[in-house]
A and B are shown apart, each in its own frame.
Chain A
Amino acid sequence: MFRASRTLLQESPLVQRKLLQLPAEQRLFEETMLRGRENVNLVRQLIRNRVHMGHRAFFSNRRMYQYIYGERNGMHVINLDKTVILMRRGMALIREMVANNCTVMWCAPNKDEIFRVVSPLAQQANAYLLRGKFVPGTLTDPVESRQAVRYGYKLPGCLFIMNTKDNARAVHEAALLSIPVVGIVDTDVNPDPVTYPIPGNDESPQAINLYANFAMQAMLEGKALRERRGGGSAGRSR
């Protein structure tokens, strides 16, 4: 329903080649390659927190097949090989955003029990966590929708969405404004409109706890980077 016509295409080899030539991406690729053993621990941690479990095969989105490893007991299993790479990529983006004085907006599931877990992590990371529904027009029309107060009156540098399926509207608005979105996509979600999709489970509270922890760590690292690079004298973000 919210087809964004000008979103960044992921799989085109032209774009891939262009991406790889960017120094930042190349650096990230090599960085990830060097951390071979760390990645194995990361994969085990992801499995332990049930990140690899996808929905039933019937519900899977066709565009997620690239990230799915196979089927087990009727449930699709996500290829954590790709999740690791994309996770590092997404977290690096968040880190760079914070290092460059931009704010990050988080969207989490509204269920009480899960929200209670994510809320202190967002607070620790100084991120703006959206509680409740994403009001249409929050980003594109902050004056009329009166939602600007929820993200500090400054358009966020990037969005971190943990339940992409329910927040399709947020993804669309961010794409309209060229705000990159780091989103956790489950097997039944269309990953195309998301700039930095991270395939993973979005149902289990352990998995969401893990993602929020990663994002928080990335943001704290970004803050340290910013201070190291010379203090945020011009325009402190928060």
Chain B
Amino acid sequence: MAFVLSHGFVGRSSRSVGLMRVSRYGSAVTMVTAEGRASKFESMRKKYGVPQTNEKAADDVGFSYEDFESAVSEYEYTLTQGDNVHGRIFDCSSRGALVDIGAKAAAWLPAEEFSTRPVDSPSEYFAPDTEMEFVITSKEDMNGQLGLSVRRLEHQKCWDRVVQLQAEDVPVTVEVIAVNRGGCLVTVEGLRGFIPQSHSGNIVINESEVGRKVTAKFLELDPERNRVVLSHKLAMASTQMVNYGPGDVVHGIVSGVKPYGIFVDINGVSGLLHISQISHDRVSDIDSLMEVGQQIKCMILNQDKNKGRMSLSTKVLEDKPGDMVRDPEQVFETADEVAARYKQKLEEERKASAEVAEEIVSALDFSRDDTDPPDES
């Protein structure tokens, strides 16, 4: 069927042409309405006569309906909710932007979906004709318009990055945005996170902390529920615990008193001074001995860097057994000397045991070893 102007003037009657269904699997065209029946207009046309048109003249235009179909199919699209599409921004306004994604109607990108970070002036955020990736958020509405989002794509990328950072166990810098009873809310890599109070370390939970940047490590991630839990204590532990090792005498402030021991805060890292490690004498009532906020010196027995915990002891700092109970102040004064002596003693013991071990090993008789090759005799 020749294309342009072959069937005369303004629109032949609808009944004769009918609605042709174009199959999506090929260029097969099937007529939907019956063709043989002469419509009312056809009969009227025959009766009154319509000037004959030139069918031949339009043949040499060189554009048939098949060409039309193939040109149309170039612009065909199947876009549904959840697809990632490539689009071009047509224009921006304060409420959002129109994006050309190849569909009938330009898709709508609301101002809230421009980015994960808050946007100051939406009408200038994108330059016209920028090409970007979008994700389709809603189905077609009545006018055929789709809703888009860039924020969701960025959100997904932020989550991927955060998961990777957790796998590498790297401390990150986060900014405190709000404080509540359970801890503080922070922003990390474009996402919202939370540092519980137990992991806050030396961040004081009050309004003055808002806006402060701290380092933290990832504790728990739940992408489905959009939960990110961080720990400041762990980050501090990994950076600060390298300063001390087992056997060091350190200053600390008592942060909590429990029946089984005392929690001591040493430069942001907390350690446990067990009741059995306070003194050689039996300590019956800790409350009388120490109180929260008191400064003490203690020796580090061992450290657990991963969990940010330390085991402390003041027993070894005692000159004479029972000193801690009687006179803690004196113990603290002489703590360094006692600790040095203790260390020296430990060192000597270690050397001695190493020598003994070596003697034993060298004295072993290897002559009757089974692995020796038998004598050739």
Interface residues of chain A, those whose CB is within 8 Å of chain B, are 10-11, 13-14, 16-17, 19-20, 29, 32-33, 36-37, 39-40, 43-44, 47-48, 50, 52-56, 59, 65-73, 75, 77, 80-82, 84-86, 89, 111-114, 116-117, 201, 203-206
B51 at the interface (CB under 8 A from A): yes
* Contact of A85 with B61 at beta-carbon distance under 8 Å, contacts A80-B68, A205-B91 already known: no
Which segment of B140-148, B226-234, B273-281, B326-334 sits at the interface? B140-148
Residue of B nearest to A59 (CB): B142
CA distance A54 to B144 in the complex (A): 9
Q: A55 to B104, Cβ gap below 8 A? A: yes
Residue of A55, A70, A85 with highest tally of chain B CB at under 10 A: A70
* Contact of A205 with B90 at beta-carbon distance under 8 Å, contacts A80-B68, A82-B11 already known: yes
B73 at the interface (CB under 8 A from A): yes
* Closest-CB distance, B250 to chain A (whole angstroms): 65
Q: B10 to A116, Cβ gap below 8 A? A: no
Q: Size range of the interface on B? A: 35 or more
CA distance A218 to B45 in the complex (A): 33
With beta carbons under 8 angstroms apart, the residue of B9, B22, B97 that contacts A85 is B9
* Closest-CB distance, B141 to chain A (whole angstroms): 11
CB 8 Å contact bits of B56-74 with A (1 = contact, 0 = none): 0110111101001001111
CA distance A68 to B104 in the complex (A): 15
B345 at the interface (CB under 8 A from A): no
Using Cβ atoms and an 8 Å threshold, which residues of chain A touch B24? 72-73
Interface of A is mostly: helix
* Closest-CB distance, A109 to chain B (whole angstroms): 11
B342 at the interface (CB under 8 A from A): no
With beta carbons under 8 angstroms apart, the residue of A14, A72, A86 that contacts B22 is A72
B20 at the interface (CB under 8 A from A): yes
Residue of A13, A55, A75, A85 with highest tally of chain B CB at under 10 A: A13
Q: A40 to B62, Cβ gap below 8 A? A: yes
Q: A67 to B104, Cβ gap below 8 A? A: no
Number of A-B contacts (CB under 8 A): 151
Q: A113 to B10, Cβ gap below 8 A? A: no
Using Cβ atoms and an 8 Å threshold, which residues of chain B touch A33? 5, 54, 57-58
Interface of B is mostly: loop
Q: A71 to B22, Cβ gap below 8 A? A: yes
With beta carbons under 8 angstroms apart, the residue of B9, B48, B54, B72 that contacts A20 is B9
Using Cβ atoms and an 8 Å threshold, which residues of chain B touch A40? 4, 61-63
* Closest-CB distance, B2 to chain A (whole angstroms): 10
For chain B, residues 265 to 302, give those with C-beta under 8 angstroms from any C-beta of chain A.
none
Q: A201 to B4, Cβ gap below 8 A? A: no
Using Cβ atoms and an 8 Å threshold, which residues of chain B touch A201? 104
B78 at the interface (CB under 8 A from A): yes
A sample of 18 cross-chain residue pairs with beta-carbon separation below 8 angstroms, ordered by A number, consists of: A13-B44, A19-B9, A19-B10, A20-B9, A33-B58, A43-B68, A53-B104, A56-B144, A59-B142, A68-B19, A72-B72, A73-B77, A77-B72, A86-B11, A113-B91, A204-B100, A205-B91, A205-B100
Using Cβ atoms and an 8 Å threshold, which residues of chain B touch A47? 71-72, 74-75
Using Cβ atoms and an 8 Å threshold, which residues of chain A touch B121? none
CA distance A71 to B73 in the complex (A): 11
Q: A20 to B51, Cβ gap below 8 A? A: yes
Residue of B nearest to A15 (CB): B10
* Closest-CB distance, B298 to chain A (whole angstroms): 69
Using Cβ atoms and an 8 Å threshold, which residues of chain A touch B41? 11, 13
With beta carbons under 8 angstroms apart, the residue of B50, B60, B78, B145 that contacts A17 is B50
CA distance A19 to B50 in the complex (A): 11
Q: A10 to B5, Cβ gap below 8 A? A: no
